């Protein structure tokens, strides 16, 4: 009797398990059919891309005009067709090689309908810097210009651009920079003299370029960014909990998400001082919104604020289009560091120039513009 009871209970439990599995499978099928997850939220899973090339800020002469004319878009398309990037040269030539290389990592996109990614303020331009931020920017620029003092002004190399003042090499050329460097400068004494891109640390949050892959879970959303040449990165936005104490600082900040109706809202704080975005570091706060328009379209908006850098918050908007999972598979982890021979080559080349100068066989390396390519101090 007891055995028959246990057998009956076992059969009942097995049947219950089958029913649960069937119910979950049914929910998943319905979610795929309706574009929602099992929890009832919009399904954001997939690879997404802004398919247009849109100026980040609006040209001042356009004022509050948000959309471009057909003629303006055609002119922007024509202006980008430069040899060696989106227009290939003769087969086998240097232009052909550089064009093919850049086409992989920086694909040319058609001009978009909008005149700027920045949509607020209404003039499409980033608000003014605070006095404190402007002083910091002046210090950084003065340092880079100082290292360019013994190079010819860029007017002698490329008319119409701005460069350093030609003169004797500054006695400060070997000083420690008065700030944490993130851009290129006319010195190559160690990794800290190079840009974050040279050091394989280019990716910053927020990011508006390249593909992003969203993987949606019940308690978190993961976003992978395909940035630069192997410099991509991943973020996880937890849908619970709170931000850690302010002493905890992370490269891409701490992201916490929530659903507001059909919109995923992600707030990110706790940024590291060593990974700035347009001069903003530890005080930066992002509020991102992902809203579904249809099965193949997401509207992405991010409001960026830092009262120590900008006089007001500002907002960027992009329309992201779903990309083919088959044609745009993102399976790799970023591997820039493992193959970053370019960084070592910069140092080797600069040491060779110093040796030639010491032997009287070459110019002072500080008289050479090895930062801008003739484009002036940045």
Q: What is the pLDDT of residues 260-275, one digit of tens each?
A: 999 999 999 999 999 9
Indicate the Cα dihedral angle 121, 126, 130, 131, nearest 10°. Answer: -130
The pLDDT of residue 89 is 65
Domain that holds residue 91: 54-115
Mean pLDDT of the chain: 82
Say how far apart CA 280 and CA 97 lie, in whole Å. 37
Q: Given pLDDT bands bounded at 50, 70 and 90, which one contains residue 104?
A: low
pLDDT in tens, 304-350: 999 999 999 999 999 999 998 877 665 566 678 777 888 899 899 99
Instruction: Note the pLDDT of residue 97.
Output: 65
Residue 16: CB partners within 8 Å, gap ≥ 6?
none
Residue 342's pLDDT is what?
Answer: 85
Backbone angles phi, psi at 153, to 5 degrees: -60, 150
pLDDT of res. 369: 79
Cα gap 170→265, rounded to integer Å: 50
Any domain includes 375: no
Better-scored residue on pLDDT, 363 or 220: 220
Tell me the pLDDT band of 16, cut-offs 50, 70 and 90. Answer: very low
**CA distances in angstroms from 172 to 135, 137, 140, 175, listed in the order given:** 20, 18, 14, 5
Cβ pair 236, 215 in contact under 8 A: no
Higher pLDDT, 169 or 48: 48
Q: Which residue has the higher pLDDT, 279 or 96?
A: 279
pLDDT of residue 193: 93
The residue-averaged pLDDT of 58-72 equals 95
Residue 178 inside a domain? The answer is no
Q: How far apart are CA 212 and CA 225, in angstroms?
A: 5
Residue 155 pLDDT greater than 90, yes or no = no
pLDDT of residue 114: 96
- Whether 7 is covered by a domain: the verdict is no
Confidence (pLDDT) at 241: 93
Is residue 192 a part of any domain in this protein?
no
Q: What is the mean pLDDT of residues 34-58?
A: 87
Strand partners, 298: 292, 320
Query: What was the pLDDT predicted at 336?
Result: 82
- pLDDT over 70 (residue 128): yes
> Among 105, 69, 99, which Cα is nearest to 85's?
99
| 77: nearest Cα among 45, 54, 105, 48 | 54
Whether 77 is covered by a domain: the verdict is yes
Q: Is the pLDDT of residue 88 over 80?
A: no
Q: Which residue has the higher pLDDT, 38 or 355?
A: 355
Total domains present in the chain: 1
* pLDDT at site 374: 47
Q: Which two tokens stand for residue 176?
A: 């420690």
Do the domain assignments include residue 69? yes
Residue 185 lies in a domain: no
Lowest-confidence region among 19-28, 41-50, 79-88, 238-247: 19-28
Q: What is the mean pLDDT of residues 345-368?
A: 90
Phi, psi of 272 (to 5 degrees): -80, 145
Would residue 313 count as lying in a domain? no
249, 273 in Cβ contact below 8 A? yes
Q: What is the pLDDT of residue 332?
A: 60
- pTM of the predicted model, to two decimals? 0.79
Q: Which pLDDT band holds residue 6 (cuts at 50, 70, 90)?
A: very low
Q: Does the pLDDT of residue 24 top 50, yes or no? A: no
What number is the average pLDDT over the span 232-248? 94
């Amino acid at each position: 009797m007891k055995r028959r009871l246990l057998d009956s209970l076992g059969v009942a439990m097995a049947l219950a398990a089958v029913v649960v599995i069937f119910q979950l499978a049914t929910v998943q099928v319905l979610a795929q059919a309706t574009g929602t997850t099992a929890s009832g939220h919009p399904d954001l899973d997939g690879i997404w891309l802004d398919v247009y090339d849109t100026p980040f800020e609006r040209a001042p002469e356009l004022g509050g005009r948000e959309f471009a004319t057909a003629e303006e878009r055609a002119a922007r398309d024509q202006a980008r067709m430069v040899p060696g990037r989106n227009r290939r040269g003769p087969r086998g030539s240097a232009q052909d090689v550089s064009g093919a290389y850049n086409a992989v990592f920086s694909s040319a996109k058609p001009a978009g309908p909008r005149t700027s990614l920045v949509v607020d303020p209404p003039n499409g331009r980033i608000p003014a810097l605070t006095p404190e931020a402007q002083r910091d920017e002046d210090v950084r620029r003065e340092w880079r210009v100082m290292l360019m003092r013994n190079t010819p002004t860029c007017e002698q190399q490329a008319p119409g651009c701005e460069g350093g003042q030609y003169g004797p090499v500054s006695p400060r050329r070997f000083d420690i920079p008065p700030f944490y460097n993130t851009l290129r400068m006319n010195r190559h004494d160690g990794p800290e003299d190079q840009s974050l891109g040279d050091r394989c640390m280019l990716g910053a949050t927020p990011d508006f370029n390249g593909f992003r892959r969203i993987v949606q879970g019940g308690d978190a959303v993961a976003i992978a960014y395909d940035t630069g040449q192997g410099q991509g990165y991943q973020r996880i936005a937890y849908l619970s909990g709170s931000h850690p104490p302010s002493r905890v600082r992370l490269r891409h900040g701490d992201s916490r998400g929530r659903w507001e109706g059909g919109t995923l809202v992600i707030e990110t704080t706790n940024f590291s001082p060593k990974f700035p975005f347009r001069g903003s570091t530890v005080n930066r706060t992002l509020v991102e919104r992902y809203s579904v328009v249809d099965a193949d379209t997401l509207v992405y908006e991010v409001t960026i604020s830092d009262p120590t850098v900008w006089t007001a918050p500002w907002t960027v908007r992009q329309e992201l289009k779903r990309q083919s999972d088959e044609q745009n598979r993102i399976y790799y982890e970023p591997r820039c560091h493992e193959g970053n021979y370019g960084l070592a080559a910069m140092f080797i080349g600069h040491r060779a120039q110093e040796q030639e100068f010491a032997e009287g066989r070459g110019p002072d390396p500080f008289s050479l513009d090895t930062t801008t390519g003739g484009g002036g101090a940045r």
